Amino acid sequence: MKTSILVSVVVLITACASGPFGQKVKEPFRGSGYESNNRFFRGTGKGESTADNVAKSKADIAAKTILAGQINTTMKQVTDQYLGQTQKDRASDVDDKFQSLVREVMNTNIADLKKIGEEKYFDKKENKYTVFIAYEVKKSAMLKFLKQQAKANQTISTNDQDVIQKILEDELKKTEE
């Protein structure tokens, strides 16, 4: 009788600990310190493989993909603001110029990212490596670089330059708030 009660208690405790979806796992680089905010774009990635360099490459690509998606979304919002303020008969021409400027900045600035963490684990039983990587990019640095590139771009008219500079200044103010 005591054994069956003890077994029941152990089963109940085990069931409560794992929950209906399984046991909760705490992975590295989780929490507000690794999430994007008004000052930083942040991305984390996880990679698994039997080769440690492949696991690291997978984690690296995953983290950079998350970062690029966030940067792309922000740039689309800036582009939409820009197009909203420059609705003219040549809006598609202006859009092409701005989009190429954004692509140039993203291609250059993504190399400016900072690695804020990397952890590697090896599971002997499964004979595989798991790597976690976290990156961040300062929003203000990216927007300032975009402003410089826009100013240096000879294909953008003075009126469009002024609109771009104002929009980017507004975005910079948001990062400082």
Q: What angle do CA 62, 65, 67 make, to 5 degrees?
A: 115
Q: Where are the domains of the chain?
A: 33-176
Beta strands 128-138 and 114-123: pairing type?
A: antiparallel
Per-10-residue mean pLDDT, the chain, length 177: 48 56 87 90 95 95 89 75 64 62 62 87 96 93 81 77 81 82
Two tokens, residue 97 = 């110029």
- Rg of the Cα atoms in the chain: 24
Q: What is the pLDDT of residue 38?
A: 87
Q: What is the pLDDT of residue 9?
A: 44
Query: Is residue 156 a contact partner of residue 150, using CB atoms and an 8 Å limit?
Result: yes
Q: What is the pLDDT of residue 141?
A: 84
- pTM listed for this prediction: 0.71
